[in-house]
A = this chain, B = another copy of it.
Amino acid sequence: MSKEITARSEDYSQWYNDLVLKGGLADYSAVKGCMVIKPYGFGLWEGMRDVLDKKFKDTGHQNAYFPLFIPKSFLSKEAAHIEGFAKECAVVTHYRLKNDPNGGGVIVDPEAKLEEELIVRPTSETIIWNTYKSWIQSHRDLPLLINQWANVVRWEMRTRLFLRTAEFLWQEGHTAHATAQEAVAETRQMLDVYADFAENWMAMPVIKGVKTPNERFAGAVDTYCIEALMQDGKALQAGTSHFLGQNFAKAFDVQFTNKENKLEYVWATSWGVSTRLIGALVMAHSDDDGLILPPRIAPLQVVIVPIYKNEEQKARIDEKVNALVAELKQAGIRVKYDDADHARPGWKFAEYELKGVPVRIALGARDLENNVAEVARRDNKTKESLSLDGLTGAIQLLLEDIQQNMYNKAKTYRDEHITPVDTWEEFVATLDGKAGFVAAHWDGTPETEEAIKEKTKATIRCIPLNNPQSPGQCILTGKPSKERVLFARAY
């Protein structure tokens, strides 16, 4: 049709890029590694953001905003943190441009050099904990439950639209607590919020787990995560929630007087999801005709296309559709009547399939006579003729059914792609053939994890929560293991 999409089976990576670019989600920019989020993609992000923001507020968090810049010395205060981020920092060194006295155009003014370089935030633990020092004195100031919606920059050499970009949008929660138990409970609560969002809004099943030390956030005591499976069998980390212990409180000297009037260091968490979720959504559900968006977060849930041969027919269809649109909107459904006359219905059908609109209603002159409309669902591409009477109620049920069906389909695929293996040969064969998560025994050492990664490019995605304890032998070293962990190749 209008825009060519590379087949998924032919070139998965190109298929993904085609969907993002031709589906109107994002565009490359003139700045290496940075993307432009186009209106349709940004609409999707706004919807996701609004749902998450409400969940954060419902769990007692407030939004705030901290500076974009972090003094270089701050980043260095927590040893693991600087180790993790030093290699990908955008550094501001000067604060003024000037005309080149030698006629070379506009240049950086060498006299406007900063005394201390500023880092464009890759994450905000350091600047926030420096601020918390002046906000927290007593146990009465705790817990402090704050979230920030912001842009962050991590200089990446190999970038992919949404999945890995130098600048991305995200939210980062940063909370402060009086006890370790409270902080761990917060960490786990936010992991549950993310899992609920992924499963019930994005229709994307996830496994909740904890990262091994190798994969931990730089500066965390424990990193919890949700891991999803894409249609090529690769895993994608969709959100993380970190228990930071007292690491940042100690680095920035944030202490409080407890109920016994003694000074203690504060306990911390941080947690975040980013525009990467849009990449996950695309890869979890789409097909060769385009995006398939789950109704609960689709910017547009229903599109109505008129089919007519003359103005008289068009007028009658308009009248019916205008009433229907009003009724659908009244029911809280995001609907658009596309009666633009510069494109044929077939072109519009292809365009809305490409954009993943969950339900398409086509209405022609004969349909009107029969008091019916043709209703097509995007997820399984089935069509049916439905009575115009009570159509709004039917559409509401249909949207719920699509949401559930998309989740079920993804869950079936995911469940079929968790493969227990017991030998190295099976492990490699599964990764190279079937792909997906491979549940295997590991001897618990970072060295073995690293060796497996070097040999296969597979990493331990997580140790699932409530993981069954069942002794076995490490697939690489044969050493004893208490439980299986989930390996996969990942985005």
List residues of chain B with CB within 8 A of the CB of A146: 39
Are the CB atoms of A29 and B66 closer together than 8 Å? Answer: yes
> Which of B95, B131, B140, B167 has a CB less than 8 Å from the CB of A90?
B95
With both chains docked as a complex, state the minimum distance between the C-beta of A272 and any C-beta of chain B, in angstroms. 17
> Is A421 interfacial (CB 8 A cutoff)?
no
Are B86 and A106 within 8 A (Cβ)?
Answer: yes
Chain B residues whose C-beta falls within 8 Å of the C-beta of A134 in the assembled complex: 27
Give CA–CA (A361, B74) in the complex, Å: 45
Q: Which residues of B contact A45 (CB under 8 A)?
A: 65
| B67 in contact with A34 (CB, 8 Å) | yes
Decide yes or no: A86 and B92 within 8 Å by CB, A31-B71, A106-B76 being known contacts. no
A130 at the interface (CB under 8 A from B): yes
Q: For A36, list chain B residues within 8 Å (CB).
A: 64-67, 131
Given the known inter-chain contacts A30-B130, A151-B151, please indicate yes or no for A65 contacting B37, CB distance below 8 A: yes
CB distance from A336 to the nearest CB of B (A): 13
Whole-angstrom distance between the Cβ of A122 and the nearest chain B Cβ: 11
Q: Does A75 contact B (CB under 8 A)?
A: yes
Assess whether A452 is interfacial by the CB under 8 Å rule.
no
Whether B117 lies near A120 (C-beta < 8 A) is no
CB of B35 within 8 A of CB of A67, answer: yes
Docked complex: A16-70 residues within 8 A CB-CB of B? 27, 29-31, 34-39, 42-43, 45-46, 62-70
- Out of B30, B43, B87, B92, which one reaches A127, CB within 8 Å? B30
- The minimal Cβ–Cβ distance linking A339 to chain B, given in whole angstroms, is 16
A39 contacts which chain B residues (CB < 8 A)?
62-64, 146
Out of B27, B72, B76, which one reaches A131, CB within 8 Å? B27
Q: Across the interface, which residues of B come within 8 angstroms of A127, CB to CB?
A: 29-31
Query: Does residue A108 face the partner (Cβ distance < 8 Å to B)?
Result: yes
Q: Residue A344 at the B interface, CB < 8 A?
A: no
CB pair B89–A97 under 8 Å, yes or no, is yes
- Residue pair B91, A90 in contact (C-beta under 8 Å): no
Given contacts A62-B42, A120-B120, A127-B30, contact A167 B37 (CB under 8 A): no
Q: Which of B76, B82, B97, B120 contacts A86 (CB 8 A)?
A: B97
In the assembled complex, which residues on chain B have CB atoms less than 8 Å from the CB atom of A99? Answer: 86
A30 touches B71 (CB 8 A): yes
Q: Which residues of B contact A117 (CB under 8 A)?
A: 108
- Is A96 within 8 A of B106, CB to CB? no
Instruction: Assess the B342–A140 pair: CB atoms within 8 A.
Output: yes
A416 located at the interface, meaning its Cβ lies under 8 Å from any Cβ of chain B in the complex: no
Chain B nearest CB, measured from A162 CB (Å): 12
Give 20 CB contacts A-B under 8 Å.
A27-B134, A29-B66, A29-B131, A30-B74, A30-B127, A34-B67, A36-B67, A42-B63, A42-B64, A42-B65, A65-B169, A68-B120, A68-B151, A75-B97, A86-B96, A89-B97, A91-B92, A96-B155, A108-B117, A150-B151
A interface residues, Cβ below 8 angstroms from B: 27, 29-31, 34-39, 42-43, 45-46, 62-72, 74-76, 82, 86-99, 105-106, 108, 117-120, 127, 130-131, 134, 140, 146, 150-151, 153, 155, 167, 169, 342
